[in-house]
Amino acid sequence: MGEGELGKVYVEILGCDGLPNMDSGGFYGNKTDTFVACVYEDVYGRTDVIDDCLSPRWLPWSNRAFVFSMGHPSSTLNIGVFDYDAGSDRLTDHDLIGRVSVDLTNFRSATEYVLSYTIFPSARIAGRKSEGKVMIRLRMDIFDERKLVLASLKPPKATYVNCTSRKEFRVIRQTCFGAIDENRYSIQTLKSYIDELRELQHALFYMEDALMTLILWRGHFEMKLPFIGKKIKLPIHSFNAFVISTFLVEHPTLFPSFFFGSVAWVRL
């Protein structure tokens, strides 16, 4: 499926574990009827439905495998796990159990991966809890590495996924964005934004502290002196910054090397 020309993404849905029971009457054996939806760029596919099972497995002869054509290197693979509802299209929806977005830039070409992901009903909502796990097998085949790198320099184009019914539209939307619409007002969404701002405040504190440590030559790396047994703290970050600065003054051509080396240093 798909119209991309950069490569192929092979995805197999192997199974799920620890799913909640979304159907009433679990005491009498009525349990979740599970299927998995995959949305990649402008296409959508779904597995067969496995009835009354909280740890379903899709066997090789079932509809569980998809081949997607890659159109942009940064496109994510969205996977949603649903409880199938056989009711009317206008009255009922398939219930989302959980979802996950898979960043394909983390994987190598021509390498097979067997992966297990924890699924959540939403992306960034505060207080969310795990709703089980989904297991997949994944492989990418890139046709031309040079063409892939050049394509990554351009932003991805807007994509549109076609569907034939309201139910399918809801499945696609929830697979990509989760069960909770973060653009609508709710106390839960507001609390998530507040928590995000608090995390940014913590990050700002650490950045300011690291900057002052660098400028004021504060010792942070503890070292024990031999024979004496006394511990001292060395200003390793300040020393590194001083050495890099003196080298760049005399050898400006080393700037690209020091720049990319400093990226890892800053992250540490």
- Tens of pLDDT along 31-44? 889 999 999 999 99
Helix (H) or strand (E) holding 164: none
The pTM of the full predicted model, rounded to 2 decimals, is 0.72
Q: What is the pLDDT of residue 240?
A: 84
Q: What is the pLDDT of residue 139?
A: 95
Judged by average pLDDT, the poorest of 147-156, 172-181, 218-227, 239-248 is 218-227
Contact 220, 239 (CB under 8 A): no
Q: How would DSSP label each residue in 72-85?
A: -TTPEEEEEEEE--
Q: What is the pLDDT of residue 129?
A: 81
Strand (E) positions, the chain?
A: 7-17, 34-40, 43-46, 65-70, 76-83, 95-103, 113-118, 133-142, 221-224, 231-234
Q: How far apart are CA 22 and CA 30, in angstroms?
A: 9
Confidence of residue 215 (pLDDT cuts 50, 70, 90): confident
Arithmetic mean of pLDDT over the chain:
86
Confidence of residue 27 (pLDDT cuts 50, 70, 90): low
pLDDT above 70 coverage of the chain, percent = 94
Q: Which residue has 């019914």 as its token pair?
A: 165
Number of neighbouring beta carbons within 10 Å of residue 3: 10
Tens digit of pLDDT for each residue in 86-137? Answer: 776 667 788 899 999 999 988 999 899 999 999 988 876 766 788 899 999 9
Which residues have CB under 8 Å from 130's CB, separation 6+?
18, 98, 118, 119, 120
Contact 184, 191 (CB under 8 A): no
Q: What is the pLDDT of residue 89?
A: 67
Domains, the chain, with CATH or none: 7-177 (2.60.40.150), 187-267 (no CATH)
> To the nearest 10°, the Cα dihedral for 61, 64, 67, 73?
-150
